[in-house]
Structure 1
Amino acid sequence: MTRYQILNALLHFLFFFVGAGIGSFLNVVIYRLPRDLSVNEPRRSFCPSCKYQIPWYHNIPIVSWLLLRGRCANCGVSISPRYLGVELFTGLVFYAVLWCFGGDWAEIVIWGPKVVCLWVFMSLLIAGTFIDIEHYLLPAEITRNGTIAGILASLWVPAFQDQDVWWRGGLMAIASAAVGFGGLRIVVELGKLAFGRKRLKFAQAEAWSVTQPDENEPPIVTVGEDKIEWVDLFGMQRPTDRLVVTCPVLRVNDQTFSDIIAELYVETLKIKDSTGKEETFDLEKVTLLEGKATEVMIPREAMGLGDVHFMMMIGAFVGWKAVLFTIFAASILGTLISTLTRVTGRAEWGSKLPFGPYLAAGAGLWVFYGPQVVDWYMNKVTGGHDF
């Protein structure tokens, strides 16, 4: 083996390890962002259980988790395999990007910017995916800041937007971000029209309530044994969204009502009796809300606003064609996973998986295979003829 080949192999290993190191940082982002913790303070990673700040020699990507057998060196509590998985997966993705889009090291100035931008893009997709799986949300720090990063990337590498001039790349990135936002928002609104309400009827009246155990967190709606997060009801901030409850009995602060219909909006509560008389309460002033329910109509979404912002970021990075491909690919993947989980008797697991990971997978497929798949499909449709 020549000296050049040895150096080339070492460089490839180095970039895999760089990816694994970025994966270690992404684990910090995945843990801290949804918990409103700073990703900078404390600077060192810490054990989620005992809060012990991990020294560098126990924080070597992949290696440390394996040597410590997935346990904290201080308290011995198990550390989630997700930490190892994110580091390994990010390393592999970084290497795949380098393998597919890199070139001769003497020409790194030519292909280097594209590889760096794709590493940033993939990092955002990975962080968003794992946060969405665990917390069912896509933080604005990833989606909106990612959109800005995508526009800057397209200014630096206008080829992401099929352009060859920097300012055209930037303009197309903004337009593609708008396509991503608007396209998925239309899907959300259509889904709302088709599947926007879920009706539950009870043979015997079930207890229901709205509580706020932590004043810094949104309220929680409890119906029987089910708990519904406030964001699941009113995450899209539509003024028309409402939770409708048919109540034999309802207590609001120091008042008791009988045989009424309660309509819960994002900021107000409306109570209607059988005569049509209506009373309105400001939810900020409601300290007690509980009663019995015989029927509940729950507003629901096809997907959340975070998914819409996620698509905006994807469009800003890789263009409007990628937006269309990603939505289509994500829908196909979602259908396949849903079918597979039903066939294997794990339908409940499949139903709990949010849409964000499917969007990330679709965008990842576009980066590596999308243009080739589109060209193959168009050749099949047109028979290889130009029109």
Structure 2
Amino acid sequence: MRFQILNTLLHILAFYMGAGIGSFLNVVIYRLPLGISVNNPKRSFCPSCKYKIPMWQNIPLLSWLLLRGKCANCGGKISIRYFMVELLTGVMFYLVFLKVSGDYSATNPWPLIRLWGPQVLCLWVFMSLLISGTFIDIDHFILPHSITIGGAVVGVLSSWWVPALVGQETHTNGLLASLASAALGLGGLWLVVELGKLAFGRKKFVFAKEESWEVTQPDENEPPVVVFGEHKYDWADLFMRATDRMVVACNELQVNERSFGTVTAELWMEKLKVREGANLEEFPLEGVTKLRAKTTQVVIPREAMGFGDVLFLMMIGAFTGWQSVLFTILAASVLGTVFAVIHRVTGKAEWGAKIPFGPYLAMGAVLWVFYGPQFVEWYVSKTMWR
């Protein structure tokens, strides 16, 4: 009887600990992309009135329900996503706990915790990184290095501590397998990005009437931005490698104090090329202080996916091994295709296009943790039978 009570409490604790971590992940998801410290201020605050929420109004899951999704101070709406992140994290923590710990209800659980406890803790950290990265990517189309690169470092250390994460039995083999898997994740998806860049690496804008095109640098401590028509791009979103270029068909072009007529301007990461017929003139960007034009067509470089996705898969490989890397790429691609078809059929194609690839990678990784090895075993058995 005593063990059954302890067992029940342990199940409740696993879920509600996840919900509590989910509350912290909400802080990470909101603050990290904005450059706000996750530790200062220490307490959560209302996004509307900045009221610091006291502890008794910040109970995971319950507070949102009791306050009906509103701030107790100003009555401002608190998004249901805060509740959903807490619930999702709680569910993921509980499912990890069930999968790793197995059925021990008839025995004393505490000696067994020493066997599966470290693996549960490592997978809890992994799930937290996946959830944080997913919602940050959805909101801001970025995957912060603190999650991807920092997560990869944690993944390597976790695989050394718990070699079973990457299918190994010794600490040394766990470390080596994790490093190799991280390298496979980095290199494999990087290759996909590069091939995608070659196949789909440009996006053309054609305007019915002349639009202004300009490169400005509002803050001298920040990279330049490119503005044309209703579009605005940060420099890093356009130029990730030396071979990236923007091509602008100019009816008028001004470079510093010089003016050109009908020319083609090619903007590269470190230079500007101006083509007028057979003539070509090149300007180093360091010496360009004014760059504007009138245009009817702009072609920009475009990524098949962001480099943050590459680093995200590196982190996934560090935690879960090389087979997981291959499975995650395949699963993410299938999931992305399925969701795209659903959105198109339901008339939500534009909304579906706004979902970046990072969440699909996260879903693929979650599928691997719970079903991946069984799927591989089933697939191999079917293939060998044929």
Tell me the TM-score range normalised by the shorter chain: over 0.9
| Residue aligning to 2:264 | 261
- Give the conservation status (yes or no) of the 8 Å contact 1:221–1:227: yes
User: Once the two structures are superposed, what CA deviation does each residue of 1:205-230 show, in whole Å capped at 9, x if it has no partner?
Assistant: 22222334455554332222233343
Deviates more, 1:112-121 or 1:54-63: 54-63
| Residue aligning to 1:346 | 348
| Residue aligning to 1:222 | 227
Deviates more, 1:12-21 or 1:325-334: 12-21
Question: Per-residue deviation at 1:49?
Answer: 2.1
From the superposition, tell whether residues 286 and 69 of structure 1 become closer, same or farther in structure 2 (CA, over 3 Å). farther
Question: Per-residue deviation at 1:18?
Answer: 0.6
Question: Per-residue deviation at 1:50?
Answer: 1.9
Question: Per-residue deviation at 1:40?
Answer: 1.2
User: Once the two structures are superposed, what CA deviation does each residue of 1:210-264 show, in whole Å capped at 9, x if it has no partner?
Assistant: 3344555543322222333433312xx2101011101001233443322121111
Identity of aligned residues (%): 62
**TM-score, with structure 2 as normaliser:** 0.94
Provide the C-alpha distance between the structure 2 equivalents of 1:346 and 1:214, rounded to a whole number of angstroms. 37
What letter matches 1:270 in structure 2? K
Question: Per-residue deviation at 1:179?
Answer: 0.4
| Residue aligning to 1:24 | 23
Deviates more, 1:196-205 or 1:10-19: 196-205
Provide the C-alpha distance between the structure 1 equivalents of 2:225 and 2:70, rounded to a whole number of angstroms. 34
- Give the conservation status (yes or no) of the 8 Å contact 1:207–1:291: yes
- Give the conservation status (yes or no) of the 8 Å contact 1:259–1:274: no
Which secondary structure state, in structure 1, belongs to the residue aligned with residue 261 of structure 2? strand
Deviates more, 1:43-52 or 1:162-171: 43-52
Question: Per-residue deviation at 1:60?
Answer: 0.9
User: Once the two structures are superposed, what CA deviation does each residue of 1:263-303 show, in whole Å capped at 9, x if it has no partner?
Assistant: 11223333232341303042x55444322112211110110
2:159 aligned with 1:160: no
Question: Per-residue deviation at 1:355?
Answer: 0.2
Provide the C-alpha distance between the structure 1 equivalents of 2:174 and 2:377, rounded to a whole number of angstroms. 22
User: Once the two structures are superposed, what CA deviation does each residue of 1:32-72 show, in whole Å capped at 9, x if it has no partner?
Assistant: 11111111111111122222211111111111111111122
Provide the C-alpha distance between the structure 2 equivalents of 1:67 and 1:256, rounded to a whole number of angstroms. 65
Which secondary structure state, in structure 1, belongs to the residue aligned with residue 363 of structure 2? helix
User: Once the two structures are superposed, what CA deviation does each residue of 1:146-189 show, in whole Å capped at 9, x if it has no partner?
Assistant: 01100111111111222111011001100110000000011001
Provide the C-alpha distance between the structure 2 equivalents of 1:285 and 1:76, rounded to a whole number of angstroms. 53
Provide the C-alpha distance between the structure 2 equivalents of 1:369 and 1:18, rounded to a whole number of angstroms. 24
The equivalent position to 2:298 in structure 1, one of 287, 296, 299, is 296
Provide the C-alpha distance between the structure 2 equivalents of 1:268 and 1:72, rounded to a whole number of angstroms. 51
Provide the C-alpha distance between the structure 1 equivalents of 2:287 and 2:51, rounded to a whole number of angstroms. 42
Provide the C-alpha distance between the structure 2 equivalents of 1:74 and 1:274, rounded to a whole number of angstroms. 66
What letter matches 1:159 in structure 2? A
The equivalent position to 1:199 in structure 2, one of 196, 199, 204, is 204
- Give the conservation status (yes or no) of the 8 Å contact 1:220–1:228: yes
| Residue aligning to 2:359 | 357
Alignment of 1:135-174 (within 5 A): 135-174=140-179
Provide the C-alpha distance between the structure 2 equivalents of 1:329 and 1:356, rounded to a whole number of angstroms. 12
Which secondary structure state, in structure 2, belongs to the residue aligned with residue 277 of structure 1? strand
Provide the C-alpha distance between the structure 1 equivalents of 2:364 and 2:86, rounded to a whole number of angstroms. 21
| Residue aligning to 1:183 | 188
2:104 aligned with 1:99: no
User: Once the two structures are superposed, what CA deviation does each residue of 1:300-338 show, in whole Å capped at 9, x if it has no partner?
Assistant: 011011000001101110000000000000000000000
Alignment of 1:1-387 (within 5 A): 2-103=1-102, 104=104, 105-106=109-110, 107-215=112-220, 217-234=222-239, 237-282=240-285, 284=286, 286-383=288-385
**TM-score, with structure 1 as normaliser:** 0.94
| Structure 1: gaps of 5 or more residues | none
Provide the C-alpha distance between the structure 2 equivalents of 1:51 and 1:266, rounded to a whole number of angstroms. 40
Root-mean-square deviation (CA, aligned residues, Å) is: 1.7
Deviates more, 1:49-58 or 1:138-147: 49-58
